[in-house]
Amino acid sequence: MESAIALIGFGEAGSTFAKAAGWESAALAFDINPARHAVMEEAGVVACATAEFALSDADMVLSLVTADAALAAAQDYAALLKKGAIWCDMNSVAPDTKRAAARVIEAAGGRYVDVAVLAPVDPSRMNVPLLVSGAHADEAAARLREAGFTRTRVVGDEIGRASAIKMIRSIMVKGIEALTAEMMLAATKAGVVDEVLASLDASEKTQSWFARAEYNVERMTTHGLRRAAEMEESARTLEALGIEPLMTSGTVKRQREMAGRTLPFVSSEGQVGIGVMSE
């Protein structure tokens, strides 16, 4: 890269991107958790003790915090941005949340871009699909490609368009996971796991439900809290559209309830081994 890049937030996404892209000293990283400094050093990026140090000379910023901290990050760090720096908000939040963050960044002299990440960063890494929208989307997309992202697509010049696509898509993706968990909780308690999954296999042959149930539940047990926060933003998206988020609100509760559960369920055939169904 010809210009400096700053990462605000160095969790799974930030560390995965930094290691895969090999940015090393071209990237400066800051996280509110000092324990993340060791991970930054492992990834080869410059570990910064303050956000000001990370942002002072960066031409492009990747905001990679949690969904509930996305707006606060823009509010807290906008004044620290280099004039004209591009703030790529890659957090999974509602369009209205991104528009609120955009107003803060633009008022401080930065340039805000809405970026939606459409797949898990691991194992996709730099091949993860990115949707980009906003007045500066074309330049941001070019810079993201320069940084190593291979699947970047501009979807419009309106802040919130990329996130609307992501949030509305998430209603289905995370909703299916939540419904799978609910189904498996009931099937396990009723002692009918094999029969239920076999009946689903009989009606849909594209993928074994033994594999699908295992995958969907694992996503929730590993990432349920983060996904619940994202689905709260999906609910806000629906509310802004005048739609009551009945199922989506239920998905928020189920994703949060499943997070961190560790007891496995196994069908009588021994074909499902990951997931956390029994108490």
Domains plus CATH for the chain? Answer: 5-158 (3.40.50.720), 163-258 (1.10.1040.10)
Q: Are 134 and 158 in contact (CB under 8 A)?
A: yes
Q: How far is CA 114 from CA 50, 153, 218, in A?
A: 24, 12, 29
pLDDT digits 0-9 by tens, 132-184? 999 999 999 999 999 999 999 999 999 999 999 999 999 888 899 998 888 88
Secondary structure, 3-state, 2-26? CCCEEEECCCHHHHHHHHHHCCHHH
- CA pseudo-torsion sign 58, 74, 116, 212: positive
The pTM (predicted TM-score) of the whole model is 0.81
In angstroms, the CA 68 to CA 208 distance is 35
Q: Which helix (H) or strand (E) holds 71?
A: helix 70-77
Q: 121 pLDDT band (50/70/90 cuts)?
A: very high
Check: CB of residue 216 under 8 Å from CB of residue 176.
Answer: yes
- Indicate the SS3 state at residue 46: strand
pLDDT tens-digit map of 48-100: 999 999 999 999 999 999 999 999 999 999 999 999 999 999 999 999 999 99
Exposure letters 218-246 (e unless 16+ CB within 10 A, then b): ebbbebbebbbbbbbbbbbbbeeeeeebe
The rounded mean pLDDT for the chain is 90
The pLDDT value recorded for residue 134 is 98
